[in-house]
Structure 1
Amino acid sequence: MGIDLDRLFQAMARLVNGAPMDDEAVGCTFRGLMSTLMTFDYVVVFAYRGKERPLDLYSTFDAEDHVLFVSLYQAGPYLLDPFYHAARAPKPGVWRMRELAPDRFFSSEYYRTYYVQTGLAEEVGFFVPVSEQVTVVLSLMRREATGVFSATEFALLKKAEPLVAAFVRHHWAELDRRFDTALAKKGRGRRKAAHPPADGVWRHLNLTEREAAIIELVLQGHSSESIGLKLGISTGTVKVHRRNVYRKLGISSQTQLLSLYIKNLGQ
């Protein structure tokens, strides 16, 4: 696909005119700009702050796909998403999912039971920190029939990143206040926000801090070797902790572990 210069210049005119835009207009402008450069199937934009429920700023899904990609995702699976962890780091720039995913992500139970339902061949994200705590991630998604982004296309996205980042920071600079508002609507102040849904799971399941850290990494798709490197402990110690957790929870598989995790989110 060649670059559509007429549409590109029209999209850029909206970027530079400085007029206020709501979420829908910002998202549509981003989508229009990207569509002049290459094809893709979906766009979704989330804002992340800590372990709080991400804000859904914009998406192009139909009603059925919105349930899977947005509603179900916000209910808890986001906590295991490589994009979520990269946003928390943060890791500014343009990233492919496979660049950020743990070494066993594509064989993890989370991938098999949730992510594979999306039918995606690839997801690429622009990661834009807009404050000390908030990062906006603008994702371009391709289904399997469309195929992955080529090296040339990915290089073009990286060239567009400074423009996209400046646009996002201009229009989505006040997201901390919106996160605070979302918390207030749930009757939870900033103090209680220190205990997000995932932490509630571990308290409810009576795991130690070390056990919880290891099991979270297991669910994210890290191997025992990767977990050992991240936590500074031996692979053998990781395996011992995993066996102890499985025995404590009365389970014998990662399938049961993920089911228990999702079931107890927020309790």
Structure 2
Amino acid sequence: MIGKGQPLADWHSALGNLVTALSSDLFYRELLTTIRSQVPVDYPQVWLYHREHSPSPLYYDLPPDDERNQIDLYVAGSYKQDPFYLTAFERGEPGVYRLTEIAAQRFERSDYYKSYYALLNATDEIVFIADINADSSLQVCLMRSEASGRFTDWEVEFLRVAEPVVSALLRQHLKLLPPQPATQVGMEKNVEQAFGLFGQSLLTGRERDVLGLILQGYRSRVAAERLGISAETLRRHRKNIYRKLDISSQNELFSLFLSSLHCLDHTPNVDPLATYMNMQLADS
């Protein structure tokens, strides 16, 4: 699939950087850089999908003007009609899917298209679906704008050929997250409870309200509107949350949340973050 010369060299170089980034906050960015070294993508995104919750954006590279439509509206409820979301939990089969292959006939007449997809300036979309368990999955979304045109047959075939490598690296990345990936210890049983308990031992009630919206993927402006506070007040709460949790980014927050889920197996009904931090101190 990959030609000789520079394209092959670019692919191998990108793969090397991706392997080096395993278990780090840079992994999803490097994953999409690797894919884009061969296939142009305008709106790349990585999502953590939950059966019982709104999805969480783990990484995206979007123009600021597109974030409201592509992230905020999606998290607010549009995801429930997304063919890729439905495919992940109805078919339960990992792989590479193209929107035109799984969308219902007359897709452009659907409520999902009219209320959401038509706002995206998108003309084609391909998604890698990597199963975590029966109630969670990772999705790497590759979307093309109308100006760029649809994926070519070669690009579609390349992505299908690359799928085993991409899926293997996604699974390895999760496996390497300390101490053990929640995906392998029953996330489907714990995530509902964890959303209610995570951070309660360290954060104020308002900070936990802010934390919950951050974990659900809401950007600062939208989260502030939902809580009835100013954007500046929300940013202050977020700064305090990061300070108390000893983190500096949303990626670190998601990693901390995922890593702490397994603690509910050891101490049910207790803040999993507190248990996780105590375990880390005991091991140090």
TM over 0.5: yes
- Contact kept, 8 Å, 2:127 with 2:140, in 1: the verdict is yes
Q: Please state whether the residue corresponding to 2:128 is helix, strand or coil.
A: strand
For the 8 Å contact 1:48–1:88, the answer to whether it is kept is: no
**Alpha carbons of structure 1 residues 125 and 62: separation in structure 2 relative to 1, 3 Å:** same
| % same residue | 30
CA distance in 2, matches of 1:52, 1:144: 31
Which residue does 1:88 correspond to in 2? 89
Per the alignment, residue 23 of structure 2 pairs with 20
Separation in 1, partners of 2:144, 2:171: 25
Contact 1:130 1:172 in 2 (8 A): no
Q: Measured at CA, do residues 110 and 99 of structure 1 come closer, stay the same or move farther in structure 2, by a change above 3 Å?
A: same
1:68 paired residue number = 69
Q: Counterparts of 2:138 and 2:38 in 1: how far apart (Å)? A: 21
Equivalent in the alignment of 2:54: 53
The structural deviation recorded for 1:126 is: 0.4
Residue pairs, 1:4-15, within 5 angstroms: 4-15=7-18
Q: List alignment gaps of at least 5 residues for structure 1.
A: 188-267
Amino acid at match of 1:71: D
- The farther-off stretch of 167-176 and 147-156 is 167-176
Query: C-alpha separation between the residues in 2 aligned to 1:166 and 1:59?
Result: 21
Q: Does 1:98 align with 2:63?
A: no
Once the 2 structures are TM-superposed, how far is the Cα of residue 19 of structure 1 from its aligned partner?
4.6
Which of 155, 158, 170 lines up with 2:157 in the alignment?
155
- For structure 2, the 5+ residue unaligned runs are 176-180, 199-207, 210-284
Q: CA RMSD in A?
A: 2.4
TM-score between the two structures when normalised by the length of structure 1: 0.63
Q: How many angstroms does 1:105 deviate by?
A: 2.5
**What do residues 66-118 of structure 1 show as CA deviations (whole Å, max 9, x unaligned)?**
11111110011100110110111223110101111122332113212211000
Q: Structure 1 residues 14, 143: closer, same or farther in 2, change over 3 A? A: same
- Cα distance change on mapping 1:171 and 1:183 into 2, 3 Å: farther
Provide the residue aligned with 2:32 in structure 1.
Answer: 31
Deviates more, 1:38-47 or 1:103-112: 103-112
Shift in alpha-carbon separation, 1:112–1:91, aligned structure 2, 3 A: same
Give TM-score scaled by structure 2 length. 0.59
Matched residues in 1 for 2:195 and 2:63: separation? Answer: 24
Aligned to 2:253: none
Cα distance, 1:16 vs. partner? 3.2
Q: Which deviations, in whole Å up to 9, do the C-alpha atoms of 1:160-200 show, x marking residues without a partner? A: 0000001111113535559454454578xxxxxxxxxxxxx
Q: Deviations over 1:225-244 (max 9, x none)?
A: xxxxxxxxxxxxxxxxxxxx
Q: How many Å apart are 1:140 and its aligned residue?
A: 0.6
- The CA distance in 1 between the partners of 2:195 and 2:59, in whole Å, is 16
- Tell me the alpha carbon deviations over residues 33-75 of structure 1, each in whole angstroms, 9 at most, x when there is no partner: 1112121211011111213111111100122211111111001
For 1:68 and 1:62, the matched residues in 2 are separated by 11
Which position in structure 1 is the counterpart of 2:146? 144
**1:152-231 maps to which residues of 2 (within 5 A)?**
152-173=154-175, 174=181, 176=183, 179-180=191-192, 181-184=194-197
Q: Which moved more, 1:1-10 or 1:87-96?
A: 1-10
The aligned residue for residue 111 of structure 2 is 109
The corresponding residue for 1:224 is none
Secondary structure, counterpart of 2:11 in structure 1: helix
C-alpha displacement of 1:8: 1.6
* Aligned residue identity for 1:145: A
